Amino acid sequence: MDLLTKYNIKNVKNVYRNLCPATLVEHALKTEPCKLMCNGALLVETGKYTGRSPKDRFIVDEAGVSDKIAWGKENVKISESSFDIVYKKISEYLSDRERVYVFDGFAGADEKYSLPIRVINEYASQNLFMHNMLIRPTKEQLKNFDEKFTVICAPGLKLDPKECGTNSEAAIIISFNHKLVLIAGSKYSGEMKKSVFSVMNYILPLSGVLGMHCSANMALDGSGDTALFFGLSGTGKTTLSADPNRGLIGDDEHGWSDNGIFNIEGGCYAKCINLSKEGEPEIYNAIRHGSVVENVVVNDETREPDYTDKTLTENTRVSYPIDFIPNKVVPGKGKHPRTIVFLSADAFGVLPPVAKLTKEQAMYYFVSGYTSKVAGTERGIVDPVCTFSTCFGSPFLPLGSEVYASMLGKKIEQFGTDVYLINTGWTGGQYGVGSRMSLKATRAIVTAAVSGDLAKSEYEKEPFFGLNIPKSCKDVDPAILNPRNAWKDKAEYDKTANKLAGLFNENFKKYHDMPKEIVEAGPKGNKRD
């Protein structure tokens, strides 16, 4: 059977399957409005959509699936009839193309839980993107490839919302019964990557595996000590996990099974904004021939990139295979983690630089998925804005939050994992008053945590959040470890800490099914005399 016939995509003159990166680059340059950067990377502009489009993402309301999904603003229902209409339109649209690109690869480095995925693309550049992001098959695996899920991406197809039951001309639709992801109207490649992650976060828990939106690295001393890093955008997850002294298992998506940790992906999708060779040499040097760069501005004559330029978007990105990282771990598997780090860039400046969490606190802060962003200002300083994302990845979690939290708690207890909350945000005052936590101090804290040294420290409990904070940490000024001590205005600290504690508690009210012990592990707030 033709590769595309089962998807009702017919009469395409040229169907290219698993082309090598060099050939995909060649095709992209001939058929798309893209160009090569001076370092050999393929540069594309994604047009109107320079990031994910949450309001255009849907899950089909299907028998046997609907009762498992945590429906809400992020898992939005779409009818089977609407899915059928969009599927037909995508099939007809691609049938009229001169060429279509197919990539067959795997999600999941652990063979027991690996999912064979077929990706069908209108554009060669997007096929190269998925060549980078999925785990690439051997010749033998490709010969006997049997896809279990398919992603079909047609950015050039603009939908009619009234006819298709969508919110706009774009749609990202997952059907678990049909084992299909349909993407129309958006050229932002991150939609494909995150759709695969959403699929895995539905499938893996059914097999007792926890899907996690985190990075992971491993000690290079032969011990196999593994660490996980959870954190929302801007918290330093990619930067802190890309440690030249440790092996990188993966930078974004992992599974935790009874066998240990495994990378879901075969590549990395890193932010480029303000990228420098000095600050992030591994990522900087990975931008070369075979990588796909999105929306970075380059000099028209020299084709030199300006990573500080936000003209097109602040969400500039690069996709590259993990092979481009010198200290990668291949295959992407590790032992059960000895250390887990939750990263929060607290612009309120009241969370400690580091706190060791109990199992119940770990589940609370995992479910909360907290960071904060600096609000835009016109005059004076405006309060920071809280961001809570369930389990540090709510847009990609089809099941209820209690499913993922419960699995994390059981694994932490089973394998004796130490869990730390690390603040990469502000100290000595909130944004506009205090200062940003130094990267040097944060790196020292992370080093102490993953090495096991921090677990041996003497701790004290702070009153607002009930967190255990170390009295000392190697290469870190002890004066900043207790955040209240770092503030000149202690009364203002108390006021701000109470405010943030209240925001945590207000956010947690929506988790109605959480066990009492997890709810009580949250901050209580405290009024000092």
Instruction: Count how many Cα atoms sit within 13 Å of the Cα of residue 23 in the half-sphere of its side chain.
Output: 7
Interval 59-87: pLDDT, tens:
999 999 999 999 999 999 999 999 999 99
Pairing of strands 77-78, 57-60: parallel
pLDDT of residue 458: 95
Domain ranges (residues) in the chain: 9-35+52-208, 268-324, 338-519
Domain 268-324 annotated CATH 3.40.50.80? no
Question: For residue 41, how far is the Cα from the chain centroid?
Answer: 23
- Is residue 346 part of the annotated active site? The answer reads no
- Told to judge if 512 belongs to the known catalytic residues of this protein, a careful annotator would answer no
- pLDDT for residue 238: 81
pLDDT at 239: 82
CA gap 51, 45 in Å, rounded: 11
288 is catalytic: no
pLDDT of residue 383: 67
Question: Mean pLDDT, consecutive 10-residue segments, the chain of 529 residues?
Answer: 86 95 98 96 96 96 96 95 98 95 98 97 98 97 95 98 97 98 97 98 96 94 90 85 88 95 96 90 94 96 96 94 92 95 96 97 96 56 78 94 92 96 95 92 95 94 95 94 95 95 94 89 71
Q: How far apart are CA 65 and CA 474, in angstroms?
A: 50
Any idea which fold 9-35+52-208 has? Answer: Phosphoenolpyruvate Carboxykinase; domain 1 (3.40.449)
Cα–Cα distance measured from residue 44 to residue 110, given in angstroms and rounded to the nearest whole number: 32
Verify whether residue 233 is a known catalytic residue: yes
Task: Provide DSSP, 292-312.
Answer: EEES-EE-TTT--EETT--SS
Q: Is residue 136 among the annotated active site residues?
A: no
- pTM higher than 0.85 for the full model? yes
Could you tell me how far CA 229 lies from the centroid of its own chain? 11
Active-site annotation holder among 27, 52, 187, 254: 52
Question: Same CATH fold, 268-324 and 9-35+52-208?
Answer: no
Tell me which residue of 342, 340, 360, 290 sits closest to 319, measured CA to CA.
290
Best CA proximity match to 190, nearest among 313, 330, 332, 25: 313
Q: Identify the active-site residue in 91, 95, 233, 457.
A: 233
Residue reference for tokens 């028998």: 63
Sole residue written with tokens 């652990």: 110
Asked if 213 is an active-site residue, the reply is yes
Q: What pLDDT shows up at residue 385?
A: 84
Contacts of 369 (CB under 8 A, 6+ apart): 230, 232, 388, 389, 390, 391, 392, 393, 394
Angle at 499 (CA atoms; ends 496, 505), nearest 5 degrees: 145
Q: For the purposes of burial, counting CB atoms within 10 Å of the CB of 323, is it exposed (0-12), middle (13-18) or buried (19 or more)?
A: middle
What CATH class is the domain 338-519? Answer: alpha beta
| Active-site residue (options: 46, 235, 238, 371) | 238
Catalytic residue among 252, 346, 418, 494: 252
The one catalytic residue in 194, 246, 328, 338 is 194
**Whole-number Å distance between alpha carbons of 275 and 37:** 15
**Catalytic site residue 238?**
yes
- Which of 97, 131, 237, 336 is flagged as catalytic? 237
Selecting among 317, 333, 336, 356, the annotated active-site residue is: 317
Q: 27, 97, 213, 338: which is the annotated catalytic residue?
A: 213
pLDDT score for 1: 45
- The answer to whether 386 touches 370, Cβ cutoff 8 Å, is yes
β pairing state of 210-219 and 149-154: unpaired
Q: What pLDDT, on the 0 to 100 scale, is given for residue 33?
A: 94
336 is a catalytic site residue:
no
Q: Cα(370)–Cα(388) distance, rounded to whole angstroms?
A: 5
